[in-house]
Structure 1
């Protein structure tokens, strides 16, 4: 007999090897960077495309964090050119016209030795200020679309503020000169008057230069946008000061022109009484003088008052079209000034004939005009 086999205990099956649980694949599919027979060609193609873009000089594409089929995003893009603003173009055109007109006036006054009286010194100061304002408008356009810099912006704005302030101050000086020529007609051509005129001009240009330096020296809103005005980078307090100065100058000019009208009417009436009758020419002359003064003051007020008022009541959150719509007419004053104060003058007209024709035509009659001629 064969012996029965020895009894063996049943052994349990060996446990399966421990495996780390794997996360479920993303809903959008396997990552292109995952190694595998299928994912390798996709990852290799993406790397080759990135290398090709880098070699071509284009910006390197940035893959989304989750991979997948999301669209590529460029890590850096070249800055888009600034869109040309039609208002800026109109300001540049206005500045070009202003610069050309006033450059001619400055050239004529410098060319003619006879134009050295206090009246022409004042007209030359006005033309110089308007010439600088026109150049400032041109430079502002160039720097805005060619050289973008906060420092350049501050310098340009300060230059414009100083130029326009000098223009308005020169207008006030001309008004004072006209008043003095009528009120003190006997002593007007004395050396004291010449000294007074030069002192006024020195003070006007000094104050204008200080006003232009304020934003450059730190009175700006580059670091505090909440304090900006409708004319960036000027602060609200800065434009309020400029507007208040303009209102004061306008009121002084209004008062002086009213006094000039009274003096003109009184002188014309006295001359007519000395002739023992009032002729029709007396009324025509008086009416013409008053109308000319009204045109001068009306042009100045219509040009600058809207912008000065808007600088006070406007808010920086308002559309910029309001600022442009009030600033553009203000520049027209510098365009009209040469016509009112220079080209109407007989002495300047005669100098223009000599400058452009090279000879003086005797058949054209000119008469000398005094500052009191309005």
Structure 2
């Protein structure tokens, strides 16, 4: 089941891990498999639909929908990194993964999480400019500027996580090599390592400031200014319209950051691995699934584009 590499000085280095996933009866695991398979398929369909509609519909060629499409791309990467192996583990009541495979999964997972922190921050800035400085919105949020913001988020996300990956790849893991989780996460790496992880913890601290704390401060600052600006609008209709453009974003931000802070920033010893796995499901499986629903599928512009695409397809068929 487990691969071990015997080195000098009687040091046994783990080269393969065993993910326990969700232990339980076969009927329960089959039920979970069906549920997560539906969520995976729904996530792919919903996010691909958003990406396609934003690409082909001229009325969706705005900064807000461009950033939503980038979030959809990230959601597809995230759930594809986690779900297929998780489904395999559930069916087999656990499964082995190589050290390189574990590192690769953790890299793409961490990059996706970092990118989501950055893109949610950019989206809050977009709403800030739209509401607090509407006359200059089109001149500030140009297509070129939006592209630069998106590319920067991707590049920074892929780059900063490499620092942790390089440090983790140099660690020695001498057992136990059983991970009580459904994917390769940061905490099991720290707990299983028999090397000094003080440098890794220091890197995590500084990277969390860049990827979590600073974006959180920017989002709070943006929405504080938005609230003050909206409260100055004299009509109730105007205030409701302004707040409605932010409600979806705030919902996703609240879910995403609450789970992130619960698991990584303020973890407690009281929490069991089961609770951590449930919280992890929220931002690895459920958030990518509900993002298209919360952000776009209930949006009138998206519905209009869907109806237009269906009518066009029917006309083409007939």
Pairwise same-fold verdict (TM > 0.5) = yes
Classify 1:192/1:239 alpha carbon distance in 2 versus 1 (closer, same or farther; 3 Å): closer
Higher RCO (C-alpha under 8 Å, 6+ residues apart): 2
Give the structure 2 partner of residue 107 of structure 1: 52
State the SS of the aligned residue for 1:148. Answer: strand
Deviates more, 1:145-154 or 1:309-318: 309-318
Q: Does structure 1 residue 130 correspond to structure 2 residue 84? A: no
Alpha-carbon distance in structure 2 between the residues aligned to 1:292 and 1:115 = 14
Alpha-carbon distance in structure 2 between the residues aligned to 1:83 and 1:301 = 26
Alpha-carbon distance in structure 2 between the residues aligned to 1:231 and 1:303 = 18
Give the structure 1 partner of residue 302 of structure 2: 348
1:317: Cα distance to partner? 10
Q: Residues 1-374 of structure 1 correspond to what in structure 2 (within 5 A)?
A: 85=23, 89=33, 94-141=39-86, 148-190=97-139, 193-219=142-168, 223-224=172-173, 231-233=187-189, 236-237=201-202, 239-241=204-206, 243-244=208-209, 245-266=211-232, 268-269=233-234, 282-287=235-240, 289-290=242-243, 293=246, 296-314=249-267, 319-331=272-284, 332-358=286-312
Instruction: Note if contact 1:109-1:124 (Cα within 8 Å) is conserved in structure 2.
Output: yes
Where structure 1 has 5 or more consecutive residues not aligned to the other structure, the ranges are: 1-79, 270-281, 362-374
Structure number with bigger Rg = 1
Classify 1:82/1:313 alpha carbon distance in 2 versus 1 (closer, same or farther; 3 Å): closer
Alpha-carbon distance in structure 2 between the residues aligned to 1:149 and 1:337 = 31
Give the structure 2 partner of residue 366 of structure 1: none
State the SS of the aligned residue for 2:215. Answer: helix
Give the structure 2 partner of residue 61 of structure 1: none
Where structure 2 has 5 or more consecutive residues not aligned to the other structure, the ranges are: 1-17, 180-184, 191-199
Which is helix-richer, 1 or 2?
2
1:209: Cα distance to partner? 0.9
Alpha-carbon distance in structure 2 between the residues aligned to 1:198 and 1:83 = 38
Compute the TM-score of the two structures, normalised by the length of structure 1: 0.59
Classify 1:333/1:255 alpha carbon distance in 2 versus 1 (closer, same or farther; 3 Å): farther
Compute the TM-score of the two structures, normalised by the length of structure 2: 0.68
Q: How many residues align?
A: 268
